[in-house]
Amino acid sequence: MPYKVAVLPGDGIGPEVIHEAVKVVRATGANLTFEEALFGGAAIDGAGEPLPASTLALCQSSHAVLMGAVGGPKWDNITPPEHRPEIGGLLRLRKELGLFANVRPAKTLTPLIHASPLTEGRSMIDRVVMRELTGGIYFGQPRGRRDDGNTAFETSVYTRHEIERIARQAFDIAMARRRNLVSVDKANVLETSRLWREVVNEIAADYPQVSMSHMLVDNCAMQLVRDPSQFDVILTENMFGDILSDEASMITGSLGLLPSASLGESKGESVFGLYEPVHGSAPDIAGQGRANPLAAILSAAMMFQYSFGDGATAARIESAVESALNDGLRTADIFESGTRLVSTSEMGDAVAERLASA
């Protein structure tokens, strides 16, 4: 029986990079079926809302979701804000699908080690940021503005259950890696962080093989720049993870290279997930063939690893990406003297060809 993948191209460069990701997945020869649906700004334009009921139903009936990026200036002034692509689309979809664990690996690719913006101490980096995805300040109630319009407020809320489940996911991933985990919070100031630290300590007792420590978020931001190689798995809450994962990603050279997975509860060796590149919709380069599809392609590799339990195919895709880069192929965001500039589709073709011939 084939796995069913819901494909949500999204906005801006989303359709371009997702097209290449699907091309590469087909080149693996895996037994999959794909079905596209409107999502984000494209769904607002085509169906009047960012997450149509038919799109949600498709995702719920699929084994995994492969998604591009959503949003852009065209929809920035939609009111109320809950109807915008990012909030009414992406945040709502994560909530509806029960996706609470955002996994963002940041790994240096050997051919691009010099692409890091850090000019000193460039070295191979291989870390994962585990971001809690459905709690904290992005979802807490109440929120809004005072009647006079001069004061705005959000509420940050975390429950023990929300912290326990993301912590277990993080420790499980640490067990499969270098068995080192740093839990990041702001426990010197925030009550939610004190609960976070308390619960993480409790879960850590079930994983004596993992070396675990705590770090305040401001120190973590500094340490990622000072010595990024010290980290293996970083576990943190929603807003801190949103910021730190982008910082960690850029240290490897380009947001166009970084994949992500948003996961739900594990079911045996597999888990339902939504897979998307870390980068945004980049409407300024949409339709120009300049977008880097590698983050979307590597997100598809994560789909094989987590949702299909097929680490071998994930590794094949990663190897094909590195092979294309080793051969000097570069999209505009990572182009440098001595390499060959290729378009979005040419990069997808190159990865697919290397998969087919492997």
List residues with catalytic annotation.
Answer: 138, 186, 218, 242, 246
The residue to which tokens 């326990």 are assigned: 164
Contact 241, 130 (CB under 8 A): yes
Cα(150)–Cα(148) distance, integer angstroms: 6
User: What does the block give as tokens for 260?
Assistant: 């992500």
Using omega within 30 degrees of 0 as the cis cutoff, is the peptide bond preceding 9 cis?
Answer: no
φ/ψ of residue 299, rounded to 5: -65, -40
Cα(199)–Cα(283) distance, integer angstroms: 41
149's torsion region: left (phi>0), alpha (psi -120 to 50) or beta?
A: left
